[in-house]
């Protein structure tokens, strides 16, 4: 069995973290880089990621998460905040980044820029907001898989009050909305969930070869 499959079998949505066990700076940087390298539509990455350690901020966010202990007990809290609107300015910034990274004239990217503006930027704001949130979920998936490879526990969470998070973190002022969160750290020996068999659909039910 390959290492990736072993790691994915090892991971589970950790409910009880060991508050004394902290993710090292080196491993945290690896996870951040894994998030940064995530795929996204057109490569635009229409989101920002907040890595939260501050105990007081996390206490407030726990209240906006219906008291779930992972928020404060885990080593770190990761908040994926997607853009509430994506505009031509975002396309321009992306083109400038491509130009700088690949050392090519920004003018040569006009066709790509126009395609993005016509296919995404022209959409209604609500549709763009949903599109941006979907990209953040792809980054979440990269975090979960990468954490498993490092034997770092994680729990993806949608059980939180997005408006509460937006207020506490000042996201609205930045044109962002809390889309999804994850806690990372190390499982408590008292978390019974770690001993339960993983429940997934059988391959023959999940996959169809055509």
Each domain of the chain, given as residue ranges in start order, spans 3-92+124-206
Q: How far is Cα 38 from Cα 139, in angstroms, rounded to an integer?
A: 5
- What is the pLDDT, as a whole number, of residue 60? 98
Q: How confident is the model at residue 141 (pLDDT cuts 50, 70, 90)?
A: very high
82, β-bridge pairs: 47, 177
- What is the pLDDT, as a whole number, of residue 170? 98
- What is the pLDDT, as a whole number, of residue 1? 47
Q: How far is Cα 115 from Cα 46, in angstroms, rounded to an integer?
A: 16
CATH of domain 3-92+124-206: 3.40.109.10
pLDDT exceeds cutoff 80 at 132: yes
- What is the pLDDT, as a whole number, of residue 146? 98
Model pTM score: 0.96
Q: How far is Cα 157 from Cα 15, in angstroms, rounded to an integer?
A: 10
Following DSSP, what letter does each residue of the chain receive, concatenated?
--HHHHHHHH--B-SSB-TT----HHHHHHHHHHHHT---GGG---EEEEEE--HHHHHHHHHTTTT-THHHHSSEEEEEEEES---HHHHHHHHHHHHHHHT--GGGGHHHHHHHIIIIITS-HHHHHHHHHHHHHHHHHHHHHHHHHTT-EEEEE--S-HHHHHHHHT-GGGTEEEEEEEEEE-B-TT-GGGGSPP----HHHH----
Task: Supply the Cα-derived Rg of the chain in whole angstroms.
Answer: 19
Work out the burial of residue 185: count CB atoms within 10 Å of its CB; fewer than 13 is exposed, 13-18 middle, 19 or more buried. buried
Q: How confident is the model at residue 51 (pLDDT cuts 50, 70, 90)?
A: very high
Sort residue 103 into left (φ over 0), alpha (ψ -120 to 50) or beta: left
184, β-bridge pairs: 76, 154
Q: How confident is the model at residue 209 (pLDDT cuts 50, 70, 90)?
A: very high
The gap from C-alpha 42 to its chain's centroid, in whole angstroms, comes to 17
């Amino acid at each position: 069995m390959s290492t990736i499959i072993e790691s994915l079998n090892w991971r589970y949505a950790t409910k009880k973290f060991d508050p004394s066990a902290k993710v090292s700076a080196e491993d945290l940087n690896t996870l951040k880089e894994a998030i940064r390298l995530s795929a996204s539509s057109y490569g635009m990455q229409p989101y920002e990621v907040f890595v939260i350690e501050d105990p007081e901020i996390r206490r407030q966010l726990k209240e906006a998460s219906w008291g779930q202990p992972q928020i404060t007990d885990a080593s770190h809290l990761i908040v994926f905040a997607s853009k509430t609107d994506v505009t031509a300015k975002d396309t321009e910034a992306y083109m400038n980044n491509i130009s700088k990274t690949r050392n090519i004239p920004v003018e040569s990217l006009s066709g790509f820029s126009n395609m993005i503006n016509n296919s995404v930027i022209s959409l209604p704001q609500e549709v763009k907001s949903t599109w941006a949130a979907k990209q953040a979920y792809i980054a979440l998936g990269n975090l979960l898989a990468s954490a498993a490879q490092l034997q770092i526990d994680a729990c993806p969470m949608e059980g939180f009050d997005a408006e509460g998070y937006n207020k506490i973190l000042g996201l609205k002022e930045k044109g962002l909305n809390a889309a999804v969160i994850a806690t990372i750290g190390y499982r408590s020996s008292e978390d019974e969930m770690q001993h339960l068999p993983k429940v997934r659909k059988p391959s023959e039910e999940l996959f169809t070869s055509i």
